[in-house]
Amino acid sequence: MDAAVKTEVEDKFVTVAGLRTRYIEEGRGPAVILLHGASLGSAADVFRRNLAPLAEFGARVIAYDQPGFGLSDDPPEWGIKFRTAFILQFMDALGIDKATLIGHSQAGNMAVDLALSNPDRISKVVALGTGSLLPPLPESEGAKKSGPAEGEEGGGSEPTAADMRELMEKNLFHQDLVTDAEVASRLRMSTGKNHKAFLARNAAGAKNKGAPKDPNKKAMWQRLGEVKQPMLMIYGREDRGQAGKRAALLKQQQPALDVHIVPNCKHLVQWDAEQEFYRLAGPFLRG
């Protein structure tokens, strides 16, 4: 499989919880749902190049624009809980009883959450570059985070093409992947209603951060050992927030977890480490 994989697929729409939702898909077989992250411009298109190669492993591979992203309608509420519950509603709308979830960035946390709360609906989990599933480094506890948190990458005003190119360059080790076409595609999903939605999500997130925390509640990375389904975790060694070091720490702390750290790879794992992604995820999906 090379960079010339098929990328032209038909946009489809389905009504989920009263929201018009756009999705794209390839292949036949057990359902695999690809979940994009929450940064400005995120949409199903972030997985467009991956659909056909993953479908070759005998799966029905589906990516959709989450509520408030891409061409899908805005949600009635902006918190992550709504988008997490929406995954199951999307599956119901498409008649999917059980699925493997592949979540990039913030969506990896959502996938693990559902695996724990609805084990009868989730068959396997793949997390790509999900920093919130990694433990903090001992020396960085209480220190200021390096780079934006998951879902916060973007600005207070609508981005220009130059802004979008800079954002993509920060997320990719291989700069040749930042083409004019990819910049234009991402920019298209970053303006107008999508930028307003981005601001609304961040406002909701800031409000939640200010709420009192339950001292007895475990962080999601502390609950990974509770996941009963097969789980694969892939990180870029050069990703922000010292993800490579933190992933190595996770492997040390929980050696039973299937964690892979890929060199020459930043945050957009499924682009930067495309062939390694297929090498690891393909047998995982078949198995």
d(CA 36, CA 82): 15
234 has a pLDDT exceeding 80: yes
pLDDT tens figures, 73-99: 999 999 999 999 999 999 999 999 999
Q: How far apart are the first and last CA of the chain?
A: 20
* φ and ψ of 115, to 5 deg: -60, -35
Residue 207's pLDDT band (boundaries 50, 70, 90)?
confident
211 has a pLDDT exceeding 50: yes
Lowest-pLDDT choice from 67-76, 152-161, 240-249, 258-267: 152-161
**Residue position matching structure tokens 């749902």:** 33
Q: Name the token pair of 47.
A: 């997985």
* 50-68 burial code (b ≥16 CB/10 A, e <16): bbbbbbebebbbbbbbbbb
Lowest-pLDDT choice from 50-54, 58-62, 86-90, 151-155: 151-155
Share of the chain above pLDDT 70, in %: 94
Give the CA radius of gyration of the chain: 18
pLDDT tens figures, 113-159: 999 999 999 999 999 999 999 999 997 554 545 667 777 888 899 99
Residue 4's pLDDT band (boundaries 50, 70, 90)?
very low
pLDDT at position 7 = 57
Mean pLDDT of 252-274: 98
Q: Please, what CATH class does the domain formed by 12-138+145-286 belong to? A: alpha beta
d(CA 15, CA 158): 28
List, as one string, the DSSP characters of the chain: --TT-------EEEEETTEEEEEEEE--SSEEEEE---STT-SGGGGGGGHHHHHTTT-EEEEEPPTTSTTSPPPSS-SHHHHHHHHHHHHHHTT-SSEEEEEETHHHHHHHHHHHH-TTTEEEEEEES-GGGSPPPGGGTTSPPSSPPTT--S-SS---HHHHHHHHHHH-S-GGG--HHHHHHHHHTTSTHHHHHHHHHHHHHHHHHTSPP-TTPPPGGGGGGG--S-EEEEEETT-TTTHHHHHHHHHHH-TTSEEEEESS--S-HHHHTHHHHHHHHHHHHH-
